[in-house]
């Protein structure tokens, strides 16, 4: 049974974030102070505070079950790693031996807890010595000596002491055949545009459902709109939206759109214009076939739509929005797109997040080998 759980909070200003509460629904002061700082002080997305709150709730559950003060718990962090792999609040005590969380999920929990302790040490809530139990200082061998400059001493960086080995990440992209089946299963222009936009532009679901009409510049020259970006494109901007949609990155970006998406958009806008309630909404994607009519679509509605389309198309699995995003990035890489281009198109903060798309598929490797010409014997008499 959970002693601590995440809870969504809405401030009088309208800003929302997630905190951690105990079994009596009283906020944990230290956790609440940190999560509020993450949301407002660091301007992170609401979804980031949700992920942090869930991870921190697990950590506080473990501290309560083992009778430890959370400030001293880093000394036993190895035991926490073992516990978080296997803890299932719905399973009996004798069944807490099987692994219920994979290495990637466990590492995400550990990273959130480490961030919490870094903040606690910086603000005096915990002794800075606890960081020695969480991090090792190692020499930064990544930089050659000539790049380090003439700074005296070794260049050190902190490395987490506890981290599980993760399996090689495999991109689970929707195939072109699956996408075409989804498009054939669409019964209206709006749904076709959603599939096309996710597939050809690569938006996250929170980005696409957060786009306003003013962000759409589907014209060859947007100078009259006060925009210097050439060609048809969409702007992705970070906002706090009433439908819960938000862009993950704080940095705005413009993403090009091809004629396929523009054509789908034109058909959708004709359909949208036939709904009087939709004409009063400035969001691009709105409810046209269910109440409340004209209201902006929620991010989760895209998952529900694709699940329904997958079933209607007779697919063997349910395609979700992120698989269409993966498909877009994979196709760009296969077409010769560079790492920096993929990073900018997808809005990744770290270029390492884009590197997974640069691993060629077996078919591309086979094609690369087949393109190598065989040696041919020279013709003519030897001299």
Query: Any idea where the domains of the chain sit in the sequence?
Result: 5-131, 176-364
Is the pLDDT assigned to residue 51 strictly greater than 90? yes
Highest mean pLDDT among 52-61, 79-88, 324-333: 52-61
pLDDT of residue 377: 65
pLDDT of residue 17: 94
Interatomic CA distance for residues 293 and 271, integer angstroms: 13
> What token pair was written down for 272?
């949208």
Q: Which residue has the higher pLDDT, 141 or 219?
A: 219
pLDDT one-digit tens code per residue, 258-307: 999 999 999 999 999 999 999 999 999 999 999 999 999 999 999 999 99
pLDDT of residue 302: 96
Give 11's Cβ-side CA count (13 Å radius).
12
User: At which residue do the structure tokens 């198309």 appear?
Assistant: 313
Interatomic CA distance for residues 37 and 44, integer angstroms: 9
Contact residues for 222 (Cβ-Cβ < 8 A; gap 6+) = 228, 229, 230, 233
Q: What's the average model confidence in pLDDT over 244-264?
A: 90
Q: pLDDT-derived band of residue 78, with 50, 70 and 90 as boundaries?
A: very high
Instruction: Identify which of 242, 237, 224, 240 has the alpha carbon closest to the alpha carbon of residue 281.
Output: 242
Is the pLDDT assigned to residue 371 strictly greater than 50? yes
Architecture of domain 176-364: Orthogonal Bundle (1.10)
Q: What's the average model confidence in pLDDT over 192-197?
A: 96
pLDDT of residue 87: 87
pLDDT one-digit tens code per residue, 200-242: 999 999 999 999 999 999 999 999 889 999 999 999 998 888 8
Q: pLDDT-derived band of residue 138, with 50, 70 and 90 as boundaries?
A: low
pLDDT one-digit tens code per residue, 160-180: 999 999 887 777 899 999 999
Interatomic CA distance for residues 335 and 327, integer angstroms: 12
Whether 5 and 57 have beta carbons less than 8 Å apart is answered as yes
- Residue 114's CB: how many other CB atoms inside 10 A? 20
- If DSSP codes are grouped into helix, strand and coil, which group holds residue 185? helix
Interatomic CA distance for residues 284 and 61, integer angstroms: 42
Backbone φ and ψ for 335, nearest 5 degrees, come out as -85, 5
pLDDT of residue 144: 46
Is the pLDDT assigned to residue 245 strictly greater than 80? yes
Contact residues for 332 (Cβ-Cβ < 8 A; gap 6+) = 341, 342, 345, 357
Whether 273 and 288 have beta carbons less than 8 Å apart is answered as no
Angle formed at CA 369 by CA 367 and CA 372, multiple of 5 degrees: 110
- If DSSP codes are grouped into helix, strand and coil, which group holds residue 244? coil
Is the pLDDT assigned to residue 149 strictly greater than 70? no
Interatomic CA distance for residues 216 and 222, integer angstroms: 10
Interatomic CA distance for residues 89 and 54, integer angstroms: 13
DSSP H/E element including 7: strand 5-10
Q: Which residue has the higher pLDDT, 363 or 113?
A: 113
- If DSSP codes are grouped into helix, strand and coil, which group holds residue 298? coil
Give, as one character, the DSSP assignment of residue 267: H
Give, as one character, the DSSP assignment of residue 318: -
pLDDT of residue 148: 44
pLDDT of residue 147: 40
pLDDT of residue 46: 87
pTM above 0.85, yes or no: no
Q: What's the average model confidence in pLDDT over 104-129?
A: 94
DSSP H/E element including 182: helix 176-185
Q: What's the average model confidence in pLDDT over 64-74?
A: 93
DSSP H/E element including 326: helix 321-334
DSSP H/E element including 307: helix 299-313
């Amino acid at each position: 049974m959970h002693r601590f759980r995440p809870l969504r909070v809405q401030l009088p200003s309208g800003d929302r974030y997630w905190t951690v509460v105990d079994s009596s629904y009283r906020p944990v002061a230290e956790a609440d102070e940190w999560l509020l700082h993450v949301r407002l002080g660091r301007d992170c997305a609401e979804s980031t505070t949700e992920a942090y709150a869930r991870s921190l709730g697990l950590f506080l559950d473990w501290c309560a079950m083992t009778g430890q003060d959370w400030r001293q718990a880093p000394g036993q962090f190895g035991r926490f790693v073992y516990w978080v792999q296997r803890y299932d609040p719905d399973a009996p005590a004798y069944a807490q031996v099987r692994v219920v969380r994979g290495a990637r999920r466990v590492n995400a929990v550990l990273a959130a807890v480490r961030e919490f302790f870094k903040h606690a040490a910086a603000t005096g809530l915990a002794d800075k010595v606890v960081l020695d139990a969480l991090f090792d200082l190692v020499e930064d061998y990544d930089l050659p000596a000539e790049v380090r400059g003439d700074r005296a001493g070794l260049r050190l960086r902190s490395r987490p002491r506890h981290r599980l080995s993760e399996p090689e990440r495999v991109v689970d992209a929707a195939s072109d055949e699956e996408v075409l089946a989804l498009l054939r299963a669409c019964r209206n222009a709006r749904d076709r545009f959603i599939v096309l936009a996710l597939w050809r532009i690569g938006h996250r679901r929170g980005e696409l459902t957060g786009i306003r009409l003013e962000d759409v510049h589907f014209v060859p020259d947007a100078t009259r709109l006060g925009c210097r970006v050439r060609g048809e494109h969409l702007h992705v901007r970070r906002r706090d939206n009433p439908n819960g949609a938000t862009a993950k990155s704080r940095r705005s970006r413009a993403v090009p759109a091809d004629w396929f998406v523009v054509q789908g958009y034109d058909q959708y806008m004709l359909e949208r214009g036939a709904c009087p309630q939709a004409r009063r909404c400035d969001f691009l994607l709105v409810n046209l076939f269910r109440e409340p009519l004209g209201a902006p679509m929620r991010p989760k509605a895209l998952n529900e739509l694709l699940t329904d389309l997958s079933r209607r198309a007779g697919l063997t699995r349910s395609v979700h929005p992120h698989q269409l995003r993966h498909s877009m990035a994979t196709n760009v890489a296969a077409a010769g797109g560079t790492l920096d281009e993929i990073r900018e198109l997808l809005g990744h903060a770290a270029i390492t997040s884009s590197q997974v798309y640069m691993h060629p598929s077996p078919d591309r490797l086979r094609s690369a080998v087949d393109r190598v010409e065989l040696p041919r014997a020279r013709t003519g008499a030897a001299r």
